[in-house]
């Protein structure tokens, strides 16, 4: 039991034990921390009044023997702080006010003015990088005031060094050093180190050593341009064959999250792209050409972004393959714990999460998916005889859940082919056309049916007679590296990659063990696992803490406590769930990292915009030249309608943007201000009229066109001949 008498007085001078305001003669002040204590409520009262001058409180006492004869090694980092405080107190040249000021600066972390050698302090802090400085401000031990060493998080949300915590508990104190909340007895006996904070501090220190030129970490990463053309093994491989093989060179330039077919522009080696029917030796070689990047998992995708490709490689016995369409079973439901790589028996229901949710996102948005079939798909008549074959683009039309063959629920997806090239098993010379969806009998007993409610992003175009992107494809979140002429990654890309890797790696360490995202209102359980507050509370929603029992429905038995196991281990966290306290230090650190990442991304975007100004100016000059040629041709009497499509090929981008802006802002104004006696102005000519006006305005703003030579004209006035062929040609009024 904690000795509750070892509690100081609060800010108002009220004793936290007897709840009475202490008199001046009954107050003792610690010579180290200057904290007031009620002398009559101390567990070990003073023997003589002479001891009051050199009295130390129980919190600062380093020589007090802990009860029970337990010996704990003193904290090294905490001893340095106490020695500095004692040096300040023993300095006779300082007044009491100056001593209090230096003591406060030391305890608040600003030890520059309190240190004996300020230059040495600045030197030691000069090499600290930005990330480590943030950790030093947010993750300090509440006892020794230093950066956490082997951190331990209490249920009340405070962090301590392991040695400081053991010393505190070894003195018989069972309350938190900050908030005085009771520490659980099991945690006091067996404190658990918070591994998330450990990894965050380690990554920050590693980044500091790399920047400061310390001993570099051995990195086995091989750049893509240095990899061989086929999968290979190194000296570190434990098994022969391709069990521990590394991927060979990636021959295509698409990012890992690329949607849709891989066209010729992404194939610098052959300038062909990935063609339907191409066959590779195995999944590792298939990865090198980007058809399906994951060489083990059957689904390549992200739950909040969508799925890019799937592989039919002898997965679930519920799968049905009909060539142009097939029924695909999601992932999960099998126990792969321990050292199990494969397990054919399903032991729990599948859910729409992770890869299954990625497929459902692609279903809702109508994204195209690349499909590869392997020779391991023995139940299909459309699988290749050997190797892995790319079979083209498919689209998910529906998805649902139903009871599988083994009795547990599985996620099901209806894939329908929608490729511009014929399938490898047909003799057709054309690609797929829109077809009616097949009748699926199992939908009658299905649940959680999801159908697409909006137009698909990848759809058939009747005018072009081919499948195209009706909406822009999703922007890649994993853009490939940018290389210079010598084949080396550019300095700017390298700097961005290093900065992102440090902060993003830290944020990944602070991910919730339930939702796998960065924690919001983080909670640290007594077993040292971290969760979002909402995720942990939802995991035990609807469960009561006490279970009422009866004997035969007549006699009431003693209530029994419900055991609530931690989602990551078997420890009981029911007491913690009743009143969970947010780890404020961890939350402030996460918010600081997120804020700095947001600011850096904004600065990077500004730099990108500034770097593209030259290209934008060149594009504007090209557009001006194109528009001026068009205007000269119209003045000479040529027919503008017949050549509009060909002329706008070089300047259609800016003209389209300008046309949209003019339609929104001045569309109605053009209709009301047009002179009814003038012949009707064609839509194409009016759009080009607007483009010329805006380009001239941009030229005036940049100083390329003198202001006296330009005057904005209304829609009724003509800068050049906009009348049909054969009409009267006249120029606009000169200023």
Residue 89: predicted pLDDT: 82
Residue 116 Rama label (left phi>0; alpha psi -120 to 50; beta) = alpha
Residue 187: predicted pLDDT: 86
Q: Which of 178-182, 298-302, 483-487 has the lowest mean pLDDT?
A: 483-487
Confidence of residue 367 (pLDDT cuts 50, 70, 90): very high
Instruction: Please give the full DSSP string across 207-275, using - where no structure is assigned.
Output: HHHHHTT-SPPP-----GGGS-SS-B--TT--SSTTTTPBP----S---TT--S---GGG-TTTSS---
Q: Is the same domain home to 260 and 171?
A: no
With residue 690 as reference, give the H or E element that holds it.
helix 683-702
Q: Is the same domain home to 110 and 191?
A: yes
pLDDT above 90: residue 207: no
**Averaged pLDDT for residues 291-299:** 92
Q: Which of 265-269, 446-450, 632-636 has the lowest mean pLDDT?
A: 632-636
Q: Is the same domain home to 228 and 193?
A: no
Q: Is the same domain home to 406 and 446?
A: yes
Q: Let me know if residue 558 belongs to a domain.
A: no
Confidence of residue 660 (pLDDT cuts 50, 70, 90): low
Count how many Cα atoms sit within 13 Å of the Cα of residue 316 in the half-sphere of its side chain: 26
Two structure tokens written together for 479: 């853009």
Integer CA distances (angstroms), 108 to 88, 102, 138, 143, 584, in order: 15, 10, 12, 12, 17
Q: Is the same domain home to 377 and 265?
A: yes
Beta bridge partners of 312: 373
d(CA 572, CA 260): 48
Integer CA distances (angstroms), 457 to 368, 420, 470, in order: 8, 15, 5
Q: Let me know if residue 19 belongs to a domain.
A: no
CB burial readout 584-602, b (16+ within 10 A) else e: ebbbebbeebeeebeeeee
Query: Where is pLDDT greater, at 340 or 730?
Result: 340
Average model confidence (pLDDT) across the chain: 75
Q: Which of 561-565, 583-587, 713-717 has the lowest mean pLDDT?
A: 713-717
Q: Is 257:305 a contact under the CB 8 Å cutoff?
A: yes
pLDDT above 50: residue 655: no
Residue 220: predicted pLDDT: 57
Q: Is the same domain home to 155 and 64?
A: yes
Q: Let me know if residue 353 belongs to a domain.
A: yes
d(CA 17, CA 5): 6
Count how many Cα atoms sit within 13 Å of the Cα of residue 717 in the half-sphere of its side chain: 11
Two structure tokens written together for 85: 């405080």
pLDDT above 80: residue 176: yes
Nearest Cα neighbor of 30 from 82, 106, 105 is: 82
Q: Let me know if residue 631 belongs to a domain.
A: no
Q: What is the CATH number of the domain that holds 41?
A: 3.30.40.10
Q: Is the same domain home to 386 and 278?
A: yes
Integer CA distances (angstroms), 233 to 103, 243, 245, 289, 563, in order: 60, 9, 5, 19, 49
Residue at which a domain ends, from 434, 456, 478: 456
Q: Let me know if residue 185 belongs to a domain.
A: yes
Beta-carbon contacts of 32 under 8 Å, excluding residues fewer than 6 positions away, are 56, 57, 60, 82, 85, 86, 89
Q: In the chain, count of helices (H) and strands (E)? A: 17, 21
Q: Is the same domain home to 128 and 157?
A: yes
Q: Is 393:467 a contact under the CB 8 Å cutoff?
A: yes
Range(s) of the domain holding residue 699 = 637-709
**Averaged pLDDT for residues 141-166:** 88
Query: Residue 350 burial by CB count (10 A; 0-12/13-18/19+): exposed, middle or buried?
Result: buried
CB burial readout 276-289, b (16+ within 10 A) else e: bebbbebbbbbbbb
pLDDT above 70: residue 724: no
Residue 275: predicted pLDDT: 95
pLDDT above 80: residue 195: yes
Compute the C-alpha angle 622/628/629, nearest 5°.
90
Q: Let me know if residue 469 belongs to a domain.
A: no
Q: Is the same domain home to 189 and 257?
A: no
Query: What percentage of the chain's residues is helix, strand, coil (to nearest 5)?
Result: 35, 15, 50
pLDDT above 70: residue 112: no
Residue 501: predicted pLDDT: 55
Q: Which of 128-137, 323-332, 491-500, 512-521 has the lowest mean pLDDT?
A: 491-500
Query: Where is pLDDT greater, at 18 or 732?
Result: 18
Q: What is the pLDDT of residues 390-434, one digit of tens each?
A: 999 999 999 999 999 988 999 999 999 999 999 999 998 899 999
Q: What is the pLDDT of residues 486-526, one digit of tens each?
A: 555 555 555 555 555 566 777 777 888 888 888 889 999 98
Query: Residue 606 burial by CB count (10 A; 0-12/13-18/19+): exposed, middle or buried?
Result: exposed
Confidence of residue 561 (pLDDT cuts 50, 70, 90): confident
pLDDT above 70: residue 681: no
pLDDT above 90: residue 364: yes
Confidence of residue 629 (pLDDT cuts 50, 70, 90): very low
Q: How many domains, the chain?
A: 3
Residue 292: predicted pLDDT: 96
Highest mean pLDDT among 81-90, 334-343, 586-595, 699-708: 586-595
**Averaged pLDDT for residues 605-611:** 62
Confidence of residue 453 (pLDDT cuts 50, 70, 90): very high
CB burial readout 445-477, b (16+ within 10 A) else e: ebeeebebeeebbbbbeeeeeebeeeeeebeee
**Averaged pLDDT for residues 112-124:** 42
Residue 71: predicted pLDDT: 43
Provide the sign of the torsion angle of the four alpha carbons 488, 492, 497, 498, taken in this order. Answer: positive
Residue 553: predicted pLDDT: 74
Residue 65: predicted pLDDT: 44
Q: What is the pLDDT of residues 227-277, one digit of tens each?
A: 887 887 777 777 777 777 788 889 999 999 999 999 999 999 899 999 999
Q: Let me know if residue 154 belongs to a domain.
A: yes
Q: Is the same domain home to 284 and 164?
A: no
Q: Let me know if residue 18 belongs to a domain.
A: no
Query: What is the phi/psi pair of residue 524, to 5°?
Result: -115, 115
């Amino acid at each position: 039991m904690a000795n509750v008498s070892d509690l100081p007085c609060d800010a108002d001078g009220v004793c936290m034990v007897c709840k009475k305001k202490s008199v001046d003669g009954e107050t003792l002040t610690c010579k180290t921390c200057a904290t007031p204590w009620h002398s009559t409520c101390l567990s070990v009262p003073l023997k003589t009044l002479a001891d009051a001058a050199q009295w130390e409180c129980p919190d600062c006492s380093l020589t007090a023997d802990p009860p029970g004869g337990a010996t704990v090694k003193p904290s090294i980092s905490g001893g340095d702080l106490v020695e500095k405080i004692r040096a300040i107190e023993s300095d006779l040249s300082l007044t009491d006010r100056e001593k209090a000021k230096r003591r406060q600066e030391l305890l608040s972390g600003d030890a520059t003015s309190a240190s004996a050698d300020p230059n040495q302090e600045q030197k030691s802090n000069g090499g600290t990088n930005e990330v480590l400085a943030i950790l030093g401000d947010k993750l300090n031990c509440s006892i020794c005031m230093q950066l956490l060493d082997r951190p331990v998080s209490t249920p009340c949300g405070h962090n301590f060094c392991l040695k400081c915590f053991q010393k505190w508990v070894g003195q018989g104190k069972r309350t938190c050093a900050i908030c005085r909340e009771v520490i659980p007895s099991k945690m006091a006996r067996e404190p658990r180190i918070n591994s998330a904070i450990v990894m965050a501090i380690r990554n920050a220190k590693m980044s500091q050593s790399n920047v400061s030129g310390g001993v570099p970490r051995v990195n086995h990463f091989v750049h893509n341009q240095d990899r061989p053309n086929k999968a290979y093994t190194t000296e570190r491989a434990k098994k022969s064959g391709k069990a521990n093989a590394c991927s060979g060179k990636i021959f295509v330039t698409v990012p890992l999250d690329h949607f849709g077919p891989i066209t010729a522009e992404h194939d610098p080696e052959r300038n062909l792209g990935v063609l339907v029917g191409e066959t590779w030796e195995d999944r590792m070689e298939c990865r090198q050409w980007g058809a399906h990047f994951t060489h083990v998992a059957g689904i390549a995708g992200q739950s909040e972004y969508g799925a890019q490709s799937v592989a039919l490689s002898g997965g679930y016995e519920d799968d049905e393959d009909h060539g142009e369409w097939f029924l695909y079973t999601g992932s999960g439901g099998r126990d792969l714990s321990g050292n199990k790589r494969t397990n054919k028996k399903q032991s729990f229901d599948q859910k729409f999460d992770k890869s299954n949710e990625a497929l459902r996102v692609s279903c809702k948005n109508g994204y195209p998916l690349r499909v590869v079939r392997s020779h391991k798909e023995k139940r299909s008549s459309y699988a290749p005889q050997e190797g892995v074959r790319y079979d083209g683009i498919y689209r998910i039309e529906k998805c649902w859940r139903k009871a599988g063959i083994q009795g547990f629920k599985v996620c099901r997806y209806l894939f329908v082919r929608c490729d511009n090239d014929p399938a490898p098993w047909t003799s057709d010379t054309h690609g797929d056309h829109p077809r009616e969806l097949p009748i699926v009998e199992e939908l009658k007993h299905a649940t959680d049916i999801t159908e697409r409610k909006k137009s698909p992003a990848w759809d058939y175009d009747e005018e072009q007679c081919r499948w195209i992107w009706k909406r822009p494809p999703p922007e890649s979140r994993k853009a490939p590296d940018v290389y210079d002429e010598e084949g080396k990654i550019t300095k700017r890309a390298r700097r961005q990659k290093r900065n992102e890797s440090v902060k993003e790696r830290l944020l990944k360490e602070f991910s919730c063990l339930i939702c796998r995202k960065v924690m919001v209102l983080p909670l640290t359980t007594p077993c040292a696992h971290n969760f979002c507050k909402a995720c942990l509370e939802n995991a035990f929603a609807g469960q009561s803490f006490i279970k009422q029992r009866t004997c035969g429905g007549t006699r009431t038995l003693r209530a029994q406590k419900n055991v609530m196991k931690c989602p990551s281990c078997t420890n009981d966290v029911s007491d913690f769930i009743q009143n969970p306290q947010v780890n404020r230090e961890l939350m402030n650190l996460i918010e600081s990292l997120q804020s700095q990442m947001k600011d850096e991304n904004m600065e990077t975007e500004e730099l990108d915009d500034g770097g593209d100004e030259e290209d934008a100016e060149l594009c504007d000059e090209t557009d001006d030249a194109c528009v001026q040629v068009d205007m000269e041709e119209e003045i000479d009497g040529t027919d503008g309608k017949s050549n509009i499509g060909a002329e706008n090929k070089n300047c259609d981008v800016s003209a389209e943007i300008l046309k949209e802006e003019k339609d929104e802002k001045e569309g109605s104004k053009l209709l009301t201000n047009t002179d009814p006696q003038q012949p009707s102005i064609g839509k194409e000519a009016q759009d080009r009229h607007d483009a010329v006006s805006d380009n001239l305005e941009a030229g005036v703003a940049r100083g390329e066109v003198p202001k006296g030579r330009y005057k904005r004209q209304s829609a009724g006035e003509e800068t050049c001949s906009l009348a049909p062929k054969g009409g009267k040609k006249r120029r606009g009024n000169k200023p």
